[in-house]
Structure 1
């Protein structure tokens, strides 16, 4: 696995990168050809991002 992200700057950078990746995927989706699996994957990406934000938040407490 990768190294643990422990400082605030690395955490923010990680979250920005993941959000940028999500936005790129969202931008590339064609509404006419998008199926339920694509939507489920987007939801999973957002859930993963939310979970990581909570983990970072809790690591500071």
Structure 2
């Protein structure tokens, strides 16, 4: 994995990039061939993204 990011702007950019990647995967997913494993993987990605957001949010609240 990469190094920890502490700059608020870089953290926000990270979240935006991850969300855009997720949306690209959703767009590319064929609903006719997607299986439960694909859906589970997408849910894990969203859970990871939410955890990262919560971690960044704590950093942002501390810096106020």
Task: In structure 1, list runs of 5 or more residues that go unmatched.
Answer: none
Higher RCO (Cα < 8 Å, 6 or more apart): 2
Structure 2 residue runs without a partner (length 5+): none
Q: Root-mean-square deviation (CA), in Å? A: 0.9
Instruction: List, as ranges, runs of 4+ consecutive aligned residues in structure 1 with deviation greater than 6 Å.
Output: none
TM-score, normalised via structure 1 length: 0.93
**TM-score, length-normalised on structure 2?**
0.89
How many aligned positions are there? 61
Match of 1:33 in 2: 33
